[in-house]
Amino acid sequence: MPLVATGEIVLSAAQAGRGVGAFNLIQLEHAEAVVAGAESAGAPVILQISENAVRYHGGLAAVGGAALAVARAAAVAVAVHLDHATERTAVAEAVRLGFGSVMFDASVLPYEENVRATAEVVRQCHASGVWVEAELGEIGGKDGVHAPGARTDPGEGAEFTARTGVDALAVAVGTSHAMLTRTASLDLELIAALRAAVPVPLVLHGSSGAPDNVLAEAVAHGMTKINIATHLNRAFTAAVRARLAADAALVDTRVYLGAGREAVAREVARLLGILTVPRGTAAAS
């Protein structure tokens, strides 16, 4: 199946009351693992590249080109997304390379500045047919959308969406980025209120910190795009450590990185089995 537009995957899931897994990659092995897991689950998936990953690679072209190539060869629908871009130059390059969507993150700016900056990026991206996600949390943005205790107000979410024209909105409902434990408690009533007020699909960032049953409940209450990064990095690293510990003489990177790739593929398939259950259907725990 060819590379598809992000909006095609997310809007279809939102209409069906399902979640979509959006998984961040750093190495090529991550991209291959995410797609392998999606193929095993028979589900569409979104490959994401964060601005931090772009910095790690010294630019977007090489890692972005690799992700696009993996997506084009997939047997399921795969979209490629630029995650947490704060620089417009990165957004422009993603558009030029053929990404289906970008997440422009101006959440650290005061509200009115966030609106102005995001609306301008939306105009530019929509001119090229590229879907835009934005982020809104604590107004004033002192600590960003995922500061402890930050929550997105449903009325402000609706206003922000109307004024900017964004296609999806990342909201603050209790998660936090880079959590190493799956102990996050989400405000499910707020998710439902946001779903009722905001006319575009909702995005949950920091989903690595939420346990399986909470992710299922988040989807059941109205979340659609579920971003996961740290959780997969933990699985990858644990498998690599175990493989190296089992053979002190091992130097072939294909062997231990392959173990990490297999671990991530299994976890992606498992998570997609949870996220893609329609609302109102009992999900796995």
d(CA 148, CA 138): 10
Q: Is 83 annotated in the active site?
A: yes
What is the distance between the alpha carbons of residues 133 and 170, in angstroms, rounded to a whole number? 7
Question: How many DSSP H helices and E strands does the chain contain?
Answer: 11, 8
| CA–CA distance, 105 with 23 (Å, rounded to integer) | 17
Catalytic member of 83, 105, 167, 187:
83
Q: How far is 206 from 171, CA to CA, in rounded Å?
A: 10
Non-local CB neighbours of 267 within 8 Å, separated by 6+ positions? 37, 231, 232, 235
CA 185/CA 209 separation, integer angstroms? 9
Separation between Cα atoms, residue 93 and residue 266, nearest integer Å: 32
DSSP at 209: G
Place of tokens 């291959």: 32
Residues in the chain: 285
DSSP assignment of 121-144 equals HHHHHHTTT-EEEEEE-STT-SS-
The answer to whether 174 touches 209, Cβ cutoff 8 Å, is no
Rounded to the nearest 10 degrees, what angle do helices 28-41 and 253-275 cross at? 40
Positions marked catalytic: 83
